[in-house]
Amino acid sequence: MTREEIVTQVLCFFREEFEIENPGLDDNLREKHGFDSIDAIEMLLKIEKMLASELSHEEKKRAMDIRTINHICDYIESLAVARAASSE
């Protein structure tokens, strides 16, 4: 999964699920778009689907510091790389 594919999927999810059109990749989601803990849980479920893998407790805990779409994309990218490395 490329960075571009990750960004496209995340932006699509924000449009469809949260009705947020064209958010800035560095917008603070909590302050600017009212992203709350319920939204974060929905996002984690979406990430699990994207990766076709359940997130560990530690991985979910790391996600609590995410504030922007760029952070979400970095997070997904790091998880994808870690999973690819562990499957080799």
Domains of the chain, with CATH numbers? 3-83 (1.10.1200.10)
Reference 79, options 38, 57, 42, 47; nearest CA is 47
pLDDT tens, the chain, 88 aa long? 899 999 999 999 999 998 888 889 999 999 999 988 899 999 999 999 999 999 999 999 999 889 999 999 999 999 999 988 887 7
DSSP the chain: --HHHHHHHHHHHHHHHH---S--TTS-HHHHH---HHHHHHHHHHHHHHHTSPPPHHHHHHHTT--SHHHHHHHHHHHHHHHHHHT-
**pLDDT at residue 85, rounded to an integer:** 87
Six token digits for residue 30: 């909590």
Report field, pTM of the whole predicted structure over 0.85: yes
